[in-house]
Structure 1
Amino acid sequence: MDEDTRYEAVRSRDARFDGVFFFGVETTGIYCRPSCPAVTPKRRNVRFFATAAAAQSSGFRACRRCRPDAVPGSAEWNARADVVGRAVRLIGDGVVDREGVPGLAARLGYSARQVQRLLTAELGAGPVALARAQRAHTARVLLQTTGLPVTEIAFASGFASVRQFNDTVRAVYATTPSGLRAAAPGSRRTTDPATAGLPLRLAHRGPYQAGPVFDLLQREAVAGIEEVLGVPGRRTYRRTLRLPYGTGIAAVDERPGRARPGAGGWLEARLHLTDLRDLTTAVQRLRRLFDLDADPYAVDERLGADPRLAPLVAARPGLRSPGAADPEELAVRALVGPAEAGRLVRRYGKALDAPCGGLTHVFPEPAVLAEAEPGGTLGALTAALADGAVRLDAGADRDDAQRALLALPGLRPRTAAVIRTRALGDPDVAPPGTDVPDTWRPWRSYALRHLCAAGRPEP
């Protein structure tokens, strides 16, 4: 998109581009999402940015009306397999907060200077600025949904000091932390997030077909770590999470919330975390599981042009290709199936301190499984995951991961394709042995989901 096209999207308040780019208004010093309902600024006063972090780094503060920091992530960075896409996914997973820029660079196989240069060139902001913008958003969520002390929120959000936290909130939101808290309705605020959980709205762009996603999760549910409650249309998916600082329990409702026609919506969720520092990571992993950063307009436009897929796309606009909340767990489950995965959970999973409904355990770590059951393909897979020979984290190179998977004894190409689609979030996978036309690229994973949802056989 050139700048004239972007300005037309702003003039028409086109929600399809929320999260794809941001615009700042030089006369006000405020940056917004394209669908902001405020008065359209004059073209000469508008600057465009690829990320919220770039707008913030240029001195713009977030609009209080359209809340540009709460938009879905750009589908481009999640779909891309290059170093920039991998870096953005790692930053979203909290790697910079936990390991710093050197840790991010090491995971990507580049120097810190190269990573800084690549991200700045494409996104208008380096890794520190991107992580800072993410921390600011996490802080706003905690300030407006909990009654936790400000000091506790500062460190839970990933800030190194209260002063840094205060300075960032003022720079991004043009108010103090207490002012930001006062601007939110008190009815959604919980005083004890450890007991009541954190209420969240997981935003998505465009239409969202929740039914097929929940159907899939219900079919695949592994006893002890997952459960689906309720009836179709009003179900709640619940699962345990293994996170960097502790464990968590997530609950996501099937019935989506709606903002206004054409502006997308959200899934209501609630998180119980043993350590609030895991909030950013937990949210990002849920977003990947439910494929909330996808661009359904681009997917439906391409697949809807195919005569075979056109009626399927018309019947289910916005169909998603679910990912995984835990890529290593998904790889094991893809290999052994739900029943055997349940046995592994019962024998080797880490028990929760307090069971919650049908949720009793966290899925066992690869190192535990590799030691407990070292033989066969399962032993080879878990050992490779444990020692890093197979990497499935947010910044993994998809081609390298697939080659490493296929090198394991007994692991079939179709299983590797499932892992690439779900664990690595690749939107363009065609399983071996399927005759998938090139016209479905780069959305072949979505095309196969349409066929599956309609009960049609693969090509």
Structure 2
Amino acid sequence: MDEDTRYEAVRSRDGRFDGVFFFGVTTTGVYCRPSCPAVTPRRRNVRFFATAAAAQGSGFRACRRCRPDAVPGSAEWNVRADVVGRAMRLIGDGVVDREGVTGLAARLGYSPRQVQRQLTAELGAGPVALARAQRAHTARTLLQTTGLPVTDVAFASGFASVRQFNDTIREVYARTPSELRALAPGGRGARAARRATPTAGIPLRLAHRGPYQAGPVFDLLASEAVPGVEEVTGAPGRRTYRRTLRLPYGTGIAAVDERPGNRRPSSGAHPGGWLDALLHLTDPRDLTTAVQRLRRLFDLDADPYAVDERLAADPRLAPLVAARPGLRAPGAADPDELAVRVAAGRAEAERLVRRYGTALDAPCGTLTHLFPEPAVLAAAEPHGTLGALIAALADGTVRLDPGADRDDAEAALLSLPGLDARTVAVIRSRALGDPDVAPPGTGVPDAGRAWRPWRSYAVQHLRVAGWVETENVMEKEMTWV
């Protein structure tokens, strides 16, 4: 997009581009999302930015009406496999806060100077600024949804000091932390925040752009749920997915509701929506990481407009896209766990949890364990194909973290004895979040090249429609050749 095209998106308040770019208004010092309902500024007063961090770095503060820091992340980072895309996924997972720029660069296989240069050249902000913008958003969430003391919010958000926290909040939101807490959504102010205590959990709205087909996602999660680690309760359309999380500083239990994702958005030509979630964390510093892992699991940063437009151009897929606009390709809350489960099967995964899983200090209903780590399983289950996979995950031969190189990971997986191409393709699609994977053996022909870079979504449409049972069934139904 050139700047004139971006300005037209701003003039039309096109929500499809929320999170794709941001614009700052030089006369007010405020930056916004493209769909901001405020009066459209004159073109000469507008500057465009690839990230919220770049806008903040140029001296703009977040708009109080459209809350640009709360929009879904750019879908571009899920698609791209280059160093910038991988870096953005790692920053989202909190790596800079935990390991610094040096740790980020080491994971990417570059020097810190190279990472700084590439991110700044393309995004207008380096890794420290990008992480700082994310910390500010986390702090606002904690201030407005929990009763944590302000000092605890500062450190839970990843800030190194209370002074740094106060300065950042004032710069980004033009408010003190106490003033920001008083503006909790719904007009309930500080009293609303005090009622949402850490013991009761942290309530969140996980935003998504465009339509969202929650039903198929919850169907899949229900069919795969491993007892003790996951559960799906409630009737279709009103279900809740709950699972345990192993996080960098502690553990967590997440609950995500199906119903809000089907709610009709209130306004906008291309509106989005949200999924309601509740997080119980043993350490609030894990909030950012937990949220990003839920976003990957539910594929909330996808761009359904780009996906649907591409796939609907094929007349064989057009009826499926029309029936289910905004269908997502679910990812994984824990990539290593997902890989083990895909290779082992559900029954074997349940056995591994019962025998080697880490018991929660305080079980919550049917949720009693964390899925066992590869290092634990490597010593206990060393044999066969599953043993080879577990050992490779434990020693780092196979890396599936958000910053992993997808091609390298696939090659490493295929080199393991007994791991077939179809299993590896599922791991690449789900654990690595690759949107452009067509698993071998599902009947997707060479014509699937026309669906790039969204073949994973095409396969989801076929699966939900019941056409990816066997190669013969799909060929019969869709007459590929």
TM-score (norm 1): 0.99
CA distances 1:66-123 after superposition (whole Å, capped 9, x unpaired): 0000000000012111100000000000000000000000000000000000001111
User: Any idea what SS the aligned residue of 2:100 has?
Assistant: helix
Q: How does 1:90-239 map to 2 (within 5 A)?
A: 90-184=90-184, 185-186=188-189, 188-191=192-195, 193-239=197-243
Q: Secondary structure at the match of 1:189?
A: helix
Q: State whether residues 252 and 282 of structure 2, in contact with CA within 8 Å, keep that contact through their aligned partners in structure 1.
A: yes
Distance 2:199 2:353 in 1: 25
Query: Contact 2:208–2:273 (CA<8 Å) still a contact in 1?
Result: yes
Q: Which residue of 2 aligns with 1:435?
A: 445
Counterparts of 2:166 and 2:242, CA distance in 1 = 35
Equivalent positions of 1:60-459 (< 5 A) are 60-184=60-184, 185-186=188-189, 188-191=192-195, 193-255=197-259, 256=261, 257=263, 258-261=265-268, 262-433=270-441, 434-437=444-447, 438-457=449-468, 458=474
Question: Are the aligned partners of 1:366 and 1:385 in contact in 2 as well (CA < 8 Å)?
Answer: yes
1:159 Cα offset (Å): 0.2
> In angstroms, what is the RMSD of aligned CA positions?
1.0
- Counterpart contact for 1:345–1:362, Cα < 8 Å: yes
Distance 1:259-1:362 versus aligned 2 partners, 3 A rule: farther
Answer with 8-17 or 376-385: which moved more.
Answer: 376-385
Letter of the 2:214 partner, please give it.
A
The 3-state SS of whatever aligns with 1:278 is helix
Shift of 1:190: 4.8
**Against the structure 1 CA distance between its residues 24 and 150, is the aligned structure 2 distance closer, same or farther, given a 3 Å change threshold?**
same
The one-letter code matched in structure 2 to 1:236 is T
Letter in 2 for 1:435: P
Deviation at 1:345?
0.4
Task: Report the counterpart of residue 41 of structure 1 in structure 2.
Answer: 41
Instruction: Tell me how far apart the structure 2 counterparts of residues 381 and 359 of structure 1 sit (CA, whole Å).
Output: 26
Conserved? CA contact 2:92–2:292, under 8 Å:
yes
Shift of 1:194: 3.5
1:9 paired residue number: 9
Offset of residue 189 of structure 1: 2.5
Q: Matched residues in 1 for 2:422 and 2:465: separation?
A: 21
Count of residues in correspondence between the two structures? 459
Structure 2 CA distance for aligned equivalents of residues 244 and 22 of structure 1: 31
Distance 1:188 1:127 in 2: 34
For each residue in 1:375-404, what CA deviation from the matched residue of structure 2 results, as whole angstroms up to 9, or x when unmatched? 111111111111110000000000000000
Mapped contact 2:75–2:302 kept (Cα < 8 A): yes
SS of the residue 1:195 aligns to: coil
SS at match of 2:369: strand
For 1:237, the aligned partner's letter is Y
Evaluate the alpha carbon distance shift between residue 63 and residue 272 of structure 1 in structure 2; reply closer, same or farther with a 3 A threshold.
same
1:339-394 residue CA offsets vs partner (Å, 9 max, x unmatched): 11011001000001111111000000000000011111111111111111000000
Gap runs ≥5 in structure 2: 469-473, 476-481
Q: Per the alignment, in what secondary structure is the counterpart of residue 382 of structure 2?
A: coil
Amino acid in structure 2 at the alignment position of 1:260: S
1:22-69 deviation per Cα after TM superposition (whole angstroms, max 9, x unaligned):
000000000000000000000000000000000000000000000000
Q: Distance in 1 between matches of 2:9 and 2:461?
A: 29
Identity %: 82
Question: Do the aligned partners of 1:62 and 1:173 also contact (CA within 8 Å) in 2?
Answer: yes
Q: 1:103 to 1:363 in 2, by over 3 A?
A: same
How far is the alpha carbon of 1:263 from its aligned partner?
Answer: 1.7
AA aligned to 1:454 is A
SS of structure 2 residue aligned to 1:313: helix
- Distance of 1:121 and 1:259 partners within structure 2: 37
Equivalent residues of 2:196, 2:203 under 8 A apart: no
SS of equivalent to 1:73: coil
| Cα deviation 1:155-187 (Å, max 9, x = unaligned) | 000000000000000000001000100111346
Cα distance in 2 between the residues matched to 1:263 and 1:44: 27
Q: Distance in 2 between matches of 1:353 and 1:407?
A: 38
| CA drift at 1:204 | 0.2
CA distance in 2, matches of 1:281, 1:307: 40
Tell me, yes or no, if the aligned pair for 1:77 and 1:85 is still in contact at 8 Å: yes
Question: Cα 1:395–1:28, aligned 2, differ >3 Å: closer, same or farther?
Answer: same
Aligned partner of residue 211 in structure 1, secondary structure = helix
CA contact (8 A) 1:190 1:197 kept: no
TM-score, normalised with respect to structure 2: 0.94
* 8 Å contact kept, 1:188–1:199: no
Q: Distance in 1 between matches of 2:345 and 2:122?
A: 40
Aligned residues of 1:190 and 1:196 also touching (Cα < 8 A):
no
Task: Give how far 1:193 is off.
Answer: 3.8
